[in-house]
Structure 1
Amino acid sequence: MLRLHVGKNAPKYYKGNWSFDSTKDALNFEPYHDLEDVEERYISTNSFNFLRTITQEEELVFRHVYGRDDTTYDTRAVELNDIRDLVLFLMPSEFLRPKFVEFMHHQAVYHLLHSLTIYFEYYLRMVEFVLIRRDEISGEKAQIQNEQTNDMKRVFSVYLSQYRMLVARNYSVIIKGEGDLEKFYHMKKLVNISQSIWDKNFHEQLLACSTQIVWIAMHRRAYNVIEMEMNRLFRSEHFVTSRPEYLSFTPAERSLLYGRNSKIVNYRTQVSPLIQELQHIRAEDLPILWIGERKYRGTDIRIMEMELEYIVPGPQLRLIDVAHGILGHPKKLYNTLLELDWPSVRYSNFSKHHDPYHIIRQPHLDIPKIDAMKMRQMTVQYEHFYEIHNLFETCHRQVIFKWLRREKIIKFYRSGGLLTNIVSRCEKELATTAHGPRVDQIIANYFKVKSRLRKEAQSREGDDDTVASGRIGNASPKEKNQVADMFYD
């Protein structure tokens, strides 16, 4: 029996079987409480098993404990953080390590996932375009391609390489390991010894989570295409496994999708396609490397379009009539697993003339001008005046600890524990007549935790005792209340 007092946290995602009850002469729904034997329970991504579906108990835990807080920005719209939190809840337990969870909440990783979402939005459109053209130029009623069609394909290929360049720019920030990303770098300080095994597992986990995030953001479609291209981008074609469900492209189609910078050499000197994009950059494409950092000043319309797509937040994409998967869509149209709820869409009265979220309209590619590349070579660039500063909500350490206790929280709830919010907690405290712990016990618990934090800080950072004491003494009132709640509990 599900026990939760808050109505808004009632289950929204239902997974089970429908059966006919002859005694009541009606349909009866029986939800799954244990999905271990269900074939659709897991989905394999790079040999890691992610949850594909969840039970209603797990749904309540996710919505009540791990869902995005209502006090954050644009809480009514689907953001990239919502998809990331869902993937963190669905990922295997071996991923729950402090360094990896903290890494997934880093601003540089957010920018990488954002650029990957933009890239795969157009990459899937290009793959669909390639498959359609393959059918049109083959068979009994094959069409003849003219020179204008080839020019259009060249422009599409250049546009896709530009989005790939944006992904490479954000990825290079991470692999350099500078600034606050130094703690995630594979080289140890002073001794300069590489942590090869740790770095390999870390990279594999990041790649698997990125694939899941992009797949969910793209309405859970074309999973095999996303997985194949994600592995090709970050590895190279030498290390992409050959699977029957993967698409195979002809040399002409590969040149269209992968661009002219993609080259295959000996595996000893092979670099990933992302780094290849940064090795050969045209002069007119150099401003792409500053998108999101500087405000572009020039006459290149293509750079302006890319900058607008990148800097506009997801909830405001409808204002520029751009779609990046499910980003910016109202949450009321989706269930807990961010799957589209078609009855909600039906009652929203969307049409081809009123479709701000590109749900009814099919994805399409705007036909570019034939002389678009020549026009870009004649553009003028001016000196930049303004810097762009992004607003990013940093992750509190308590949130990371909460993710590390994911399995314990789910196990506690399944064993009969009750998830309570602040209202039910206050009602319980008012109804009880027992007194709390003594004052001396509270002080003893406080100093016990304080000494433990001091020892951890000394072993981790090698600082003196003032670092650990400063974390407690200089903490905000909200943090002190959270620490005090641990003592009462």
Structure 2
Amino acid sequence: MKRVHVDNYAPKYYSGKWSWNSEKDCLQFEAHNDLENARERYITTNGYKFLRTMDQEEELIFRQEYLVPKSHSSDDVVMEDIRNLVLYLMPRDFLTYKFIEFMHQWEVSQLIHSLIIYFEYYLRMVEFVLIRRDELSGQMGQVQSEQTNDMKRTFSVYLSQYRMLVARNYCLIIKGEGTMSKFYHMKPISNVSATIHDKYFHEHFLAVAIQIVWICMHRRAYFIIEMEMNRLFRSEHFVSAHPEYLNFTDAERSLLYGRNKKNFNYRVQESPLVQELKLVAEEDLPILWIGERKYRGTNIRIAEMELEYIVPGSQLRLIDVSHGILGHPKKLYNTLLSLDWPAVRFLNFSEKYDPYHIVRQPQMQIPKINELQMRKMCETYEHFYELHQASEQISHHQICKWVKRDINIKFFRSGGLLTNIVSRCEKELASTSSGPRVDLIIANYFRLISKVRKDINLSEKDSFTNHRLSSYASRISTIKAPRKTF
């Protein structure tokens, strides 16, 4: 079979609609020439308008200027791909130097990563709750047994454990220590809070986080994700009423929100994330070290959570775990990271061969009887290893490129050169330059190989990692309510 070369700069997403052409007796595709007036041009998230679609010119600009550079995981969808897409689709008001730099910090990436894991399980729990609601209602309603209630309690504890991971990463940000000090709302000398600026900064991050999780979850259950995200970071007092939001009963809320949720007056109310860290069970304490220390113990549940957290998104298929679209081949998705079903059909996935959980339905494994009691009898041993994650910092040039996003789009629309494979080949043939020196070619080659093999010197690439790991124990042990509750 002949392999056809695909131009990476060619548009893959076509915005328009199909209609029937009676004269030619066939289907005809009509492209949206004026997307400003298209009905589904924008999607509103917490009052901010994000682009839902893009025309072919905007797509070419995005693929040429703002795609993630090639690396060892360039063939799979990773979190950086989703983040760059959301940054490209977000409103103009978000494009500040400080916010772009904040979104590329290591702590923020870990918070978004834990949110994706949490919502993967949370959406399954909501589906389980809605199914049980239908089974218990009506004349043919089923009778619940004690084993059913025990299973529900176990599911609720599992969801609270994922929420603890989110809370841990969230508290590392709002404490304003280390690299997060420049984004803290209190000025270091005058000790005055920049309340208004911090309010809008937090609102912008929350809207972007909703968009990232929504796109990662195959763009499904948008209102459920928006409602739960606002509840986690704001508390229930500040979640706006929306007709599309679900209404849960008291029993369902207890199942979904956990045993640590407590409602107070809105003046002293803390976010549910902070409440999760105030009452941590003794058997759940090793969860606070997931991603920092290698767990040693007999608790299988914590070992599974650690494996699910530390495995990169591009390699999740090796442990048969699904986190939305993370780790899926890019050839199955268009520029907007929407699944291309015709491309999926050619791979012949089935229930027996489905490494990316595209054919298989989301499911939850039924826990064993007395699972919670068995976990209390597990043992935890002294740790031997610390986990180091190599991360690359965004450069000043890249931040400025994002800040000037609208200027760059306007430049290319007014006549800037959008290169494709033909123009690039013509430019290389017409060039008379001898190219870089041999020593530079060799240096670039070894730098690329070290990146692919993840052989990065942490002391040079991530200078703050060693300091962060050495001070992490003292920070986690002293986590209290944040100085400012969002």
Q: TM exceeds 0.5? A: yes
- Give the aligned partner of residue 387 of structure 2: 388
1:25-49 per-residue CA deviation (whole Å, 9 max, x = no partner) reads 5543232232011110000000000
Identity among equivalent pairs (%): 68
- Give the aligned partner of residue 123 of structure 2: 124
CA distance in 2, matches of 1:98, 1:422: 32
Letter in 2 for 1:55: D
Letter in 1 for 2:180: L
Unpaired segments ≥5 residues, structure 2: 1-5, 433-486
Letter in 2 for 1:348: L
Q: What secondary structure is seen at the aligned counterpart in 1 of 2:185? A: coil
CA distance in 2, matches of 1:188, 1:170: 22
Distance change (3 Å), C-alpha of 1:427 and 1:296: same
Q: What secondary structure is seen at the aligned counterpart in 1 of 2:394? A: coil
CA distance in 1, matches of 2:84, 2:20: 37
Q: Does the Cα contact within 8 Å between 2:313 and 2:326 map onto a contact in 1?
A: yes
Q: Does the Cα contact within 8 Å between 1:33 and 1:56 map onto a contact in 2?
A: no
Shift of 1:424: 4.2
CA distance in 2, matches of 1:422, 1:136: 57
**1:73-472 mapped onto 2 (5 Å cutoff):** 73-420=72-419, 424=423, 427-428=426-427
Output the TM-score relative to the length of structure 1.
0.85
Letter in 2 for 1:220: R
Q: What secondary structure is seen at the aligned counterpart in 2 of 1:100? A: helix
1:333-353 per-residue CA deviation (whole Å, 9 max, x = no partner) reads 111000000001111100000
Distance change (3 Å), C-alpha of 1:174 and 1:32: same
Q: What secondary structure is seen at the aligned counterpart in 1 of 2:277? A: helix
Q: What secondary structure is seen at the aligned counterpart in 2 of 1:9? A: coil
Q: What secondary structure is seen at the aligned counterpart in 1 of 2:29? A: strand
Shift of 1:421: 6.9
Letter in 1 for 2:33: H
Distance change (3 Å), C-alpha of 1:291 and 1:215: same
Q: Does the Cα contact within 8 Å between 1:17 and 1:30 map onto a contact in 2?
A: yes
1:250-284 per-residue CA deviation (whole Å, 9 max, x = no partner) reads 00000000000001011111100000000000001
Q: What secondary structure is seen at the aligned counterpart in 2 of 1:8? A: coil
Shift of 1:73: 2.7
CA distance in 2, matches of 1:90, 1:159: 34
Output the TM-score relative to the length of structure 2.
0.85
Q: Does the Cα contact within 8 Å between 2:9 and 2:420 map onto a contact in 1?
A: no
Q: Does the Cα contact within 8 Å between 1:78 and 1:331 map onto a contact in 2?
A: yes
Shift of 1:404: 0.9
1:351-372 per-residue CA deviation (whole Å, 9 max, x = no partner) reads 0000000000000110001111
- Give the aligned partner of residue 37 of structure 2: 37
- Give the aligned partner of residue 67 of structure 2: 67
Shift of 1:304: 0.2
- Give the aligned partner of residue 14 of structure 2: 14
- Give the aligned partner of residue 480 of structure 1: none
- Give the aligned partner of residue 56 of structure 1: 56
Letter in 1 for 2:28: N
Q: Does the Cα contact within 8 Å between 2:294 and 2:383 map onto a contact in 1?
A: yes
Q: What secondary structure is seen at the aligned counterpart in 1 of 2:37? A: coil
CA distance in 2, matches of 1:259, 1:124: 15
CA distance in 1, matches of 2:204, 2:119: 19
Q: Does the Cα contact within 8 Å between 1:236 and 1:272 map onto a contact in 2?
A: yes
CA distance in 2, matches of 1:362, 1:432: 53
Structure with bigger gyration radius = 1
Unpaired segments ≥5 residues, structure 1: 1-5, 434-489
Bigger RCO (CA 8 Å, 6+ sep): 2
What CA RMSD, in Å, does the superposition of the two structures yield over aligned residues? 1.7
CA distance in 2, matches of 1:148, 1:7: 56
Letter in 2 for 1:320: I
Q: How many residues get paired?
A: 427
CA distance in 2, matches of 1:347, 1:221: 24
Letter in 2 for 1:157: S
Letter in 1 for 2:300: I
Letter in 2 for 1:332: K
Q: What secondary structure is seen at the aligned counterpart in 2 of 1:304? A: helix
- Give the aligned partner of residue 450 of structure 1: none
CA distance in 1, matches of 2:174, 2:118: 19
Q: What secondary structure is seen at the aligned counterpart in 2 of 1:29? A: strand
- Give the aligned partner of residue 46 of structure 2: 46
Letter in 2 for 1:91: M
Moved over 6 A (4+): none
Q: Does the Cα contact within 8 Å between 1:291 and 1:310 map onto a contact in 2?
A: yes
Q: What secondary structure is seen at the aligned counterpart in 2 of 1:39? A: coil
Q: More deviation in 14-23 or 411-420?
A: 14-23
Shift of 1:420: 3.1
Q: What secondary structure is seen at the aligned counterpart in 2 of 1:332? A: helix
Q: Does the Cα contact within 8 Å between 2:77 and 2:325 map onto a contact in 1?
A: yes
CA distance in 2, matches of 1:39, 1:396: 37
